[in-house]
């Protein structure tokens, strides 16, 4: 931008490179300072956010602000010196060859552009109606934009969870895992590197009816098709086993940030706030799961815990045990060693430490009648059968008691159905949770907690950025009215960012918000370039129309040049692929779309804003304000 302005001054005013550099810096120094202040005002508030969203925002904030200040420092110190040293005096505009052809057509483009600007200024009311319609369209599209938190990334991994009916033997769980692994390797073998399965554990808990599998996919360059992403593969696997009567099987695409959970979608804790008891909480959970299964916006809604199972409850007759000379400690130790296990000691073998446990053989602890096989030594050093003072009966109870924030709870996970966003799934489950009975509450956790927290902080972020931009521009222009001509350009850029995101079926997530704020800063940058030169012409005595048309003609080339260069540089983000591509696509799409409308519309509307605002507020030149005597001085003079 500095080089272009020096070149223009040399050509129009026939100055030497040194003089042209000085004049050029006098003209654009204010614009450069205004641009870096505005961009800093947009991005610095992002660094103050807390939580996982704040970590993401800070990375962009610090990087962009530091790069902008360094860029402006180079533009104001080093670039003028290089221009004065390296540029040659004389007219540099080419008239022949490809450069000459470009210049001729660009002059025609500029003349047509100026006629368009003059037409809009002469029909101010019509122009403002058009701007109001554009702003209304931007607001309407923003309301239609589905909300999200982080885009689902293809990390080359898929997690799987297998839950068999309660008390299923380990052998059946292992057979189910083998069946799943065989299917995956047979149907998705060209996309899958390996499948690892394990028995006795999954993300819901540990038990002989629990299983898990982990899929490592092949490199991203070998999976370039739309149906070859981790999300698409996981969906096919889950749909194949969806109606399997043997088990509940879920194939899960891991979240973009693994530290925030094990699955994408929503995550909530259903809490027994009224201390109603386990059964009432279980009934409420089952009601939520039943209603969620009927909602088309949701899929794979499941409890992330162990289901209640049959348990054999032992009843100890303490009085009879005492009469037989048996203590409760002896009873506990015997039952623990017989039906569970007891740690004894450890020893070293082959340079490795081995632990020793005692445990009853499986044949002596399989059935309730096996209790008759066990004896306990009493105080008289004789053996007494356990069934002499212990009886039992079957009950159904929880295998794992869950607590959240000190309350009994059930964790519920789920995902948005195809065509819906995580924000839609949260809204859907909130509609269901409104039907919870009194005494049962809920809290969001994991990704959902962060998403809701980030959504509530977006409004203050935008408002703070707008206020700081207004204050910076007011200080730069020494006016409260002129900054409005710059601020009004914001909807023009926002429209393109929202429209591009909607057309590509993406969400209003954290990365979209980063791209949107970037678009706002760059749109304001283009407006500053025109307003700065228009204000300078107005202060020199030109009419508003002449000043703004001159500024528009002089600034059209650098605006198009910098905007096109920026879009070309960012465009690869919008078409990225491979690891981490979803976040890059979200930012690239918002910025490319926003810069398109911010450039094409702003170059026409900013001159209209400048003329309209200065006329509305009757802004006078600084020289006129300084010449007019104050009321106090008039009073003194009359005395």
**Residue 378, token pair as written in the block:** 């009493």
| Average model confidence (pLDDT) across the chain | 85
- Taking only the tens place, the pLDDT of each residue in 534-567 is 888 888 888 888 888 988 888 888 888 888 988 9
Q: Are 556 and 108 in contact (CB under 8 A)?
A: no
- Taking only the tens place, the pLDDT of each residue in 194-212 is 999 999 888 888 888 899 9
pLDDT of residue 302: 87
**Residue 362, token pair as written in the block:** 């499986």
Work out the burial of residue 397: count CB atoms within 10 Å of its CB; fewer than 13 is exposed, 13-18 middle, 19 or more buried: exposed
| 3-state secondary structure (DSSP) of residue 185 | helix
Phi, psi (degrees; rounded to nearest 5) at 254: -65, 150
Phi, psi (degrees; rounded to nearest 5) at 604: -90, -40
pLDDT of residue 152: 81
First to last CA, the chain: 55
Distances in Å between the Cα of 67 and the Cα atoms of 36, 70, 380, 588 are: 10, 5, 86, 18
Half-sphere exposure of 164 (CA within 13 A, CB side): 22
| 3-state secondary structure (DSSP) of residue 630 | coil
Q: Are 495 and 141 in contact (CB under 8 A)?
A: yes
Q: Are 234 and 225 in contact (CB under 8 A)?
A: no
According to DSSP, the residues that pair with 395 across neighbouring strands are 311
Q: Can you tell me which residue has the tokens 């008289």?
A: 380
Q: Are 310 and 399 in contact (CB under 8 A)?
A: no
- Taking only the tens place, the pLDDT of each residue in 124-178 is 999 999 999 999 999 999 988 888 888 888 888 999 999 998 888 889 999 999 9
Where is 612: in which H helix or E strand? helix 581-616
pLDDT of residue 629: 58
Q: Are 26 and 70 in contact (CB under 8 A)?
A: no
CATH architecture, range 156-253? 2-Layer Sandwich (3.30)
Q: If you ran DSSP here, which 8-state letter would residue 359 be given?
A: -
* Residue 299: closest CA among 178, 474, 417: 417
CA distance 34 to 471: 11
Q: Where are the domains of the chain?
A: 156-253, 309-396
pLDDT of residue 261: 66
Q: Are 303 and 163 in contact (CB under 8 A)?
A: no
**Residue 494, token pair as written in the block:** 């926002």
Strands 266-272 and 407-416, sheet pairing: antiparallel
**Residue 300, token pair as written in the block:** 């794979």
Q: DSSP letter string over 452-511? A: HHHHHHHHHHHHHHHHHHHHHHHHHHT-SSHHHHHHTTHHHHHHHHHHHHHHTT--B-HH
Half-sphere exposure of 403 (CA within 13 A, CB side): 4
pLDDT of residue 635: 46
CA distance 170 to 211: 9
Strands 407-416 and 248-252, sheet pairing: unpaired
Global pTM reads 0.78
**Residue numbers in the chain where pLDDT is lower than 50:** 632-633, 635-639
Distances in Å between the Cα of 340 and the Cα atoms of 171, 256, 359, 360, 388 are: 20, 40, 6, 8, 21
Q: Can you tell me which residue has the tokens 């206020």?
A: 467
CATH architecture, range 309-396? 2-Layer Sandwich (3.30)
Half-sphere exposure of 323 (CA within 13 A, CB side): 7
According to DSSP, the residues that pair with 540 across neighbouring strands are none
CA distance 64 to 44: 9
Beta-carbon contacts of 111 under 8 Å, excluding residues fewer than 6 positions away, are none
């Amino acid at each position: 931008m500095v080089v272009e302005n020096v070149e223009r001054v040399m050509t129009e005013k026939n100055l030497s490179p040194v003089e042209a550099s000085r004049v050029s810096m006098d003209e654009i120094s204010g614009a450069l300072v205004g641009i870096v202040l505005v961009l800093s005002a947009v991005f610095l508030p992002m660094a103050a956010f807390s939580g996982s969203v704040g970590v993401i925002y800070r990375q962009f904030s610090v990087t962009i602000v530091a790069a902008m200040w360094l860029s402006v420092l180079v533009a104001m110190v080093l670039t003028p010196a290089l221009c004065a040293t390296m540029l040659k005096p004389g007219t540099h505009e080419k008239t022949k060859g490809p450069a000459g052809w470009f210049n001729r057509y660009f002059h025609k483009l500029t003349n047509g552009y100026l006629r368009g600007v003059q037409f809009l200024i002469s029909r101010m009311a019509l122009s403002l109606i058009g701007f109001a319609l554009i702003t209304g369209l931007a607001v309407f599209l923003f309301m239609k934009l589905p909300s999200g938190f982080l885009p689902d990334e293809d990390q080359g991994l898929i997690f799987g969870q297998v839950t068999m009916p309660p008390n299923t033997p380990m052998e059946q769980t292992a057979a189910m895992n083998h069946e799943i692994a065989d299917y995956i390797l047979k149907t998705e073998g060209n996309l899958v590197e390996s499948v690892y399965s394990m028995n006795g554990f999954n993300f819901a808990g540990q038990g002989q009816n629990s299983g898990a599998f982990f899929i490592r996919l092949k490199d991203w360059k070998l999976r370039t098709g739309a149906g070859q992403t981790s999300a698409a593969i996981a969906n096919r696997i889950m749909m194949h086993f969806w109606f399997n009567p043997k088990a509940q099987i879920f194939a899960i695409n891991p979240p973009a940030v693994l530290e925030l959970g094990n699955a994408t979608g929503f995550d909530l804790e259903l809490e027994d706030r009224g201390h109603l008891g386990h059964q009432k909480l279980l009934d409420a959970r089952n009601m939520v799961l039943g209603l969620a299964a009927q909602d088309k916006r949701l899929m794979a809604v499941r409890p992330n815990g162990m289901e209640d199972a049959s348990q054999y409850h032992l009843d100890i007759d303490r009085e009879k045990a005492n009469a037989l000379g048996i203590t409760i400690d002896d009873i506990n130790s015997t039952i623990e060693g017989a039906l569970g296990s007891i740690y004894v000691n450890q020893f070293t073998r082959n340079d490795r430490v081995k632990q020793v446990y005692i445990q009853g053989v499986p044949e002596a602890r399989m059935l309730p009648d096996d209790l008759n096989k066990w004896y306990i030594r009493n105080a008289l050093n004789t053996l007494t059968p356990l069934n002499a003072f212990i009886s039992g009966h079957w009950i159904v109870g929880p295998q794992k008691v869950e607590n959240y924030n000190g309350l009994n709870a059930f964790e519920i996970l789920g995902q948005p159905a195809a065509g819906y966003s995580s924000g839609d799934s949260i809204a859907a489950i909130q509609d269901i949770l409104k039907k919870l009975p009194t005494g049962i509450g809920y809290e969001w956790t994991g990704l959902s907690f962060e998403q809701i927290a980030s959504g509530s902080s977006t409004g203050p972020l935008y408002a703070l950025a707008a206020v700081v931009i207004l204050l910076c521009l007011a200080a730069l222009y020494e006016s409260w009215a002129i900054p409005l001509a710059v601020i009004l350009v914001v909807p023009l850029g926002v429209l393109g960012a929202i429209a591009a995101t909607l057309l590509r079926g993406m969400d209003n997530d954290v990365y979209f918000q980063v791209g949107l704020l970037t678009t706002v800063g760059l749109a304001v940058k283009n407006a500053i370039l025109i307003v700065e030169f228009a204000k300078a012409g107005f202060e020199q005595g030109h009419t508003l129309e002449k000043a703004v048309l001159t500024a528009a003609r002089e600034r059209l080339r650098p605006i198009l040049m910098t905007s096109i260069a920026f879009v070309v540089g960012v465009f690869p983000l919008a078409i990225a692929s491979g690891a981490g591509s979803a976040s890059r696509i979200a930012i690239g799409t918002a910025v490319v779309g926003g810069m398109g409308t911010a450039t094409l519309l702003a170059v026409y509307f900013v001159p209209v804003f400048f003329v309209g605002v200065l006329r509305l507020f009757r802004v006078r030149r600084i020289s006129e304000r300084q010449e007019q005597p104050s009321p106090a001085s008039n009073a003194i003079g009359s005395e």
